[in-house]
Chain A
Amino acid sequence: APVVKSKLSVKAPEFYPSGYNQNFNQ
C-alpha cells in the first residue's frame, strides 16, 4: 500500500459535507 507521510494537527478545522444534517443526523 502507498505510504503517506504527513503530520496531522488537532488545530485543523472540522469538516462536514454539504447536506450533513439530512444525511448523518437522522
Chain B
Amino acid sequence: QEPLTASMLAAAPPQEQKQMIGERLYPLIHATHPSLAGKITGMLLEIDNTELLLLLESPDSLHCKIEEAVAVLQAHQATETSHKSSTTAF
C-alpha cells in the first residue's frame, strides 16, 4: 500500500477515513502483537486522524503508542482480575 497522505484522507468520506487508516495500522500492529492487533487497532483509531497520520509516518511514535495501549489493556485486565477475586471472596 502506498503511504496515506492527508490529501488522500481528506478526499474520502469521514466514515471511510478511519477504515483507510485502520487498514494501514492493523498489519503494523499485527506484526508485533498478533493476538491483540484487532483490539489495539480499535483503541488507536479513537485518536484524532491528524495524530494517526503522524503515527503512521513515525514508526518510533507508533511503537510507543502501541506499547501504551498494551499497558492500558494489561492494567484493565489486572483490575478486572482483582475485582473478580475480591467479589468471589465475599
Chain A interface residues (CB < 8 Å from chain B): 1-4, 6, 8-10, 12-18, 24
Contacts and interface: CB of A to CB of B under 8 A. Distances in A.
Interface residues of B, number: 32
Interface of A is mostly: loop
Interface of B: 19, 22-23, 25-27, 30, 34, 37-39, 41-48, 51, 54-55, 58, 60-61, 64-65, 68-69, 72-73, 76
A8 B55 CA distance: 14
User: Max chain A CB contacts within 10 Å: which of B38, B43, B44?
Assistant: B43
User: Max chain B CB contacts within 10 Å: which of A13, A14, A15?
Assistant: A15
Given A1-B61, A9-B46, A14-B41, 16 more contacts: A1-B60, A2-B54, A2-B58, A4-B47, A8-B44, A8-B46, A10-B76, A12-B43, A12-B45, A14-B39, A14-B42, A15-B41, A17-B23, A17-B26, A17-B27, A18-B23
